[in-house]
Amino acid sequence: MKLPTTHLSPGMKLAKPVYGNCGELLLNRGVVLTEQYIKALRRNNVLVVDVEGPVPYDEMEVKEELSVQLRIETMRKLYSFTKKADIPLSAFMESVEALLEEIISGKTVVDYLVDLCSSDLYTFTHSVDVCVLSLLCGIKLGYNQKNLLALGVGALLHDLGKTLIDPAILNKPGKLTQEEFELIMTHPLRGWKLVGEKNEGGLHPRSKNVILNHHERYDGSGYPRKLKGHQIDQFSAICAVADVYNAMTTDRVYRKACPPPEVYEMLLCSGNVKFEKNVVKAFLSCVKPYPVGTLVKLSNGKIACVISENPSLPFRPKVQLLPSGKILDLERELSIVIKAPLSPEERRDLLS
C-alpha cells in the first residue's frame, strides 16, 4: 500500500525497500518504521513509500517486476552523464536494450520508480519511467526493435534540458512566476542542444526529435515550435503522452499525485486534441485506471482491493472486499461501480 511520507505513523512496516539520492538503500523491506526513520525519510525528500496493509496478496495476480537494480543503474547513468562524466550517448542504447528485454519477457512495470528515489532526483527517475512507458506503447503499435530502441533512447533523454535549470525553480512549492515558467519552457531546446554537442554520431535523428518535441501538442498549443497534427513525429507524440501520464500520477513537492483513473479519463478525451488519437489508444491499453493492489471505495459503501485487471473493461476489474475477503467480479456485478481510489488519509485510517 503506497502512502506519502507525510501520512506515515510509527509501527507501520515497509512492504518494499526504499532507495535514496544515488540509488543507495535507505531502508529495507520489512523494517518497522519509528519516528526517527520517518523523519529520516522526509529529510531525504522521499515522498512515497510502500507499507504493508490489509491487502489479500494470496488472491492477487502477481507478476515478476521489472528489475529494480536495472532501473537504478539506468538512473545513475543519466545522473553521471549530466555531471560531465565521460559517458558516451551510445551507452544509453545498452540501457534501453536491457529494459526492452525485460519488458518483452513479460515482467510487469506497474509500480514504476515512484518509491525508488528522493524528489531531488525526480528528473532522472521520471525519465526512466517515461522510457518504459514509451517502449510499452511502441510495442503495442507494432514497432520493430530498431524503432523501439530509437524511441526508448529519445524518451530516456527527453528531459535532459531540465538538468540545466535551477532545481529550486523546478521544485518550487508555490506558483511559478511568468519568468520562471518561460525558463522551464526552454528545457526541450536546451536538452536538444546538449545532446547535439555530445553526439558522437550514434544517436538516431528521431531520438533527438523526441528531446526537442515532447512538449508539442496536436492542436498546436505546445512548445517550443508550436507544431501541430502530423508535423509532430510519432516518437515525440508517444513520449508526450507517457510524460504527462507519469508526471500527473506521481507525487511532487508542489502538488499531490492525481488518481490514475482521473488521468486515464483525461487522456481518453484528448485524442486528436492534445495528442494523436492512435497513440492515446495504444498507450491506454498499456496502463490501467485501477492497477492490481489499488484500494477503492465501491458504490455500495464497501472498501475493496483490486486483485485482477479487466483489459476489455478496465473500469470493471475483479476486487476483493475488506475485511470479509469476498471476491466480486465487477464485469458481472453491474449494480456496483468503483467510486474512487482511497485517499492517503483513508489508507492511513484503514491501517489504523
Kind of pairing between the strands at 303-308 and 295-298 = antiparallel
Domain housing 108: 68-284
CATH number of residue 38's parent domain: 3.90.105.10
Q: Do residues 110 and 220 share a domain?
A: yes
What distance in Å separates the CA atoms of residue 37 and residue 32, rounded to the nearest whole number?
9
Instruction: Look at residue 290 and tell me if it is in a domain.
Output: no
In degrees rounded to 5, what are phi and psi of residue 25?
-70, 125
The pLDDT value recorded for residue 63 is: 63
Total number of domains constituting the chain = 3
Q: Do residues 235 and 337 share a domain?
A: no
- What single-letter amino acid sits at 230? H
Instruction: Look at residue 58 and tell me if it is in a domain.
Output: no
Q: Do residues 187 and 300 share a domain?
A: no
Helix, strand or coil, per DSSP, at residue 69: helix
Q: Do residues 157 and 230 share a domain?
A: yes
Instruction: Look at residue 83 and tell me if it is in a domain.
Output: yes
- What single-letter amino acid sits at 141? L
Instruction: Look at residue 193 and tell me if it is in a domain.
Output: yes
- What single-letter amino acid sits at 78? L
The pLDDT value recorded for residue 336 is: 96
Half-sphere exposure of residue 49: CA atoms within 13 angstroms, side-chain side:
35
Which grid coordinates are listed for 59? 488472491
Helix, strand or coil, per DSSP, at residue 5: helix
Q: Do residues 83 and 186 share a domain?
A: yes
Q: Do residues 7 and 119 share a domain?
A: no
Instruction: Look at residue 57 and tell me if it is in a domain.
Output: no
CATH number of residue 198's parent domain: 1.10.3210.10
DSSP 286: T
Q: Do residues 204 and 113 share a domain?
A: yes
Instruction: Look at residue 289 and tell me if it is in a domain.
Output: no
Instruction: Look at residue 118 and tell me if it is in a domain.
Output: yes
Q: Do residues 197 and 301 share a domain?
A: no
Q: Do residues 132 and 188 share a domain?
A: yes
Q: Do residues 263 and 332 share a domain?
A: no
Q: Do residues 113 and 250 share a domain?
A: yes
The pLDDT value recorded for residue 140 is: 96
Tens of pLDDT along the chain (352 residues) come to: 888 888 899 999 998 888 776 667 888 889 999 999 999 988 888 888 888 877 655 566 666 677 778 888 898 888 888 887 778 888 899 999 999 999 998 876 655 444 555 566 788 889 999 999 999 999 999 999 999 999 999 999 999 999 999 989 988 888 899 999 999 999 999 999 998 887 666 789 999 999 999 999 999 999 999 999 999 999 999 999 999 999 999 887 778 889 999 999 999 999 999 999 999 999 999 998 998 888 999 999 999 999 998 989 999 999 999 988 899 999 999 999 999 999 988 988 888 7
Q: Is the pTM of this model over 0.75?
A: yes
Q: How far apart are the first and last CA of the chain?
A: 13
Domain ends where: 284, 317, 333? 284
Q: Do residues 188 and 228 share a domain?
A: yes
